[in-house]
Amino acid sequence: MAKLKDRYANALLEISEEKGSLENDLKQAVMVRDVLSSDEVQAFLAHPHIPDSAKHQLFQNAFSGKLAGHIMGFLYLMVRKNRELLIVPALTEYIDSANKRFGRIEAKVVSAKPLTEEQVESIRMILSGQTDMEIMIKTKVDPDVIGGFYILADGRIFDSTVRTELNRMRERLKRGIQ
């Protein structure tokens, strides 16, 4: 499935580059991904008894006049091929690839409590220094994170949670390392 997601994302990226509309298409892809990411919409799209025409109508109602023809065509193609559950992953891959072409990376910071602007800016500067790219940060609060935070960026995880530190300490104690 991962290869299929990549193929769709790459095909959409090639079309955007051929048309010279990559920056505009990127904004549209982010909007579509964010709208279609909700659990309710995913359940609707994945439901086997909902006809394709109803799914097409959802796209028309949500995006009519807001999307380039080739992006709307991508959505229709995914429905026609019964690949509705790949829409959001393919768009996410497309967004990541397009951002990399512009020298940007999207990072997600998940913390136990809301971060201050100074903390977010500090994380941005550190990641930017490590990757030599512009960092766009999305934050999320997850009460299951005991303390600290973790970062998902460019396919990597930077984990600085209390749980991870406790697990590392436990492993060192098991091995007798201080």
* pLDDT tens, the chain, 178 aa long: 668 889 999 999 999 999 999 999 999 999 999 999 999 999 999 999 999 999 999 999 999 889 999 999 999 999 999 999 999 999 999 999 999 999 999 899 999 899 999 999 999 999 898 888 999 999 999 988 888 889 988 888 888 888 888 888 888 888 876 5
CATH T-level topology, domain 2-100: Peroxidase; domain 1 (1.10.520)
CATH number (2.40.50, 3.40.30, 1.10.1740, 3.40.50) of 103-175 reads 3.40.30
C-beta separation of 32 from 71 below 8 A: yes
Kindly report whether the global pTM for this prediction surpasses the value 0.85.
no
- H-helix or E-strand spanning residue 169: helix 162-175
**32 torsion bin: left (phi>0), alpha (psi -120 to 50), beta (else):** alpha
- H-helix or E-strand spanning residue 28: helix 22-36
Instruction: List the domain boundaries for the chain.
Output: 2-100, 103-175
